[in-house]
């Protein structure tokens, strides 16, 4: 079954600590979770972009603070941007970025 791409979200996971090793450890754990979902995604310097079905993306977004909490008690802020079209046809990650690669 082909997943309709009717949404894309950008998420930034920001652990509330100045310890760079903790930041990297927590963000890496969250990215591992995103990878395990098998959703299309791209990691950027400040945020990770995911694309696919809106409901599936919202389920993933909702889980992110809990995923971080699996390995830390450091508070984590989650910032997101959501692009959704009920009829599909949102710009894909590739359409947005391939010309710059």
Instruction: For the domain covering 7-100, report its CATH number.
Output: 3.30.70.930
Q: What gap in Å lies between CA 54 and CA 34, rounded to an integer?
A: 15
Q: Taking the model in full, what pTM does it have?
A: 0.91
Give the strands of the sheet with 48-52, arranged side by side. 40-43, 48-52, 7-15, 76-84
pLDDT by residue (tens digit) across 38-91? 999 999 999 999 999 999 999 999 999 999 999 999 999 999 999 999 888 898
Positive/negative CA dihedral, 92, 96, 97, 100: positive
Domains of the chain, by residue range, sit at 7-100
pLDDT over 70 (residue 1): no
């Amino acid at each position: 079954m082909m997943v309709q791409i009717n949404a894309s979200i950008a998420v930034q996971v920001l652990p509330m600590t100045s310890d760079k090793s903790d930041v990297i450890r927590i963000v890496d754990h969250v990215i591992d979770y995103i990878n395990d979902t098998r959703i299309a995604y791209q990691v950027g310097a400040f945020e990770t972009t995911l694309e696919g079905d809106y409901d599936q993306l919202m389920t993933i977004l909702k889980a992110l603070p809990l995923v971080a909490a699996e390995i830390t008690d450091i508070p984590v802020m989650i910032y997101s941007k959501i692009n959704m079209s009920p009829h599909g046809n949102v710009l894909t990650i590739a359409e947005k970025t391939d010309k710059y690669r």
